[in-house]
Amino acid sequence: MSCLPDEPKISPSKYFVGHTDPLTCVALFPDSKMMISGSYDRRIRLWDIGSGQASGEFLRGHKVSVNVVAVSPDGTMFVSGGGDGRILIWNAT
């Protein structure tokens, strides 16, 4: 007999697929309607969380992997940092 509580049965509510190489980073926008992802494929992708679909085309700007993404508190811009040593600022509106 075990005194440990049962593990909660939590499972993903949506799956997002769209990069060609492994993901390196993901961040939610403040309103939780959008998220952004970066990958070893050197691309950034915006996602509509409600539909589970990518919004538009890939964003390109790094010569090697995208290692970090972060969204501004007001959701109007985001930054990305890559293995190429570059930090890029993007307009999200």
For the chain, the domains span: 23-91
pTM, two decimal places = 0.84
Question: What pLDDT is recorded for position 2?
Answer: 59
Question: What pLDDT is recorded for position 55?
Answer: 87
> CA-to-CA distance for 22 and 42, rounded, in angstroms?
10
> CA-to-CA distance for 51 and 42, rounded, in angstroms?
24
Question: What pLDDT is recorded for position 13?
Answer: 86
Q: Which residues of the chain have pLDDT under 50?
A: none
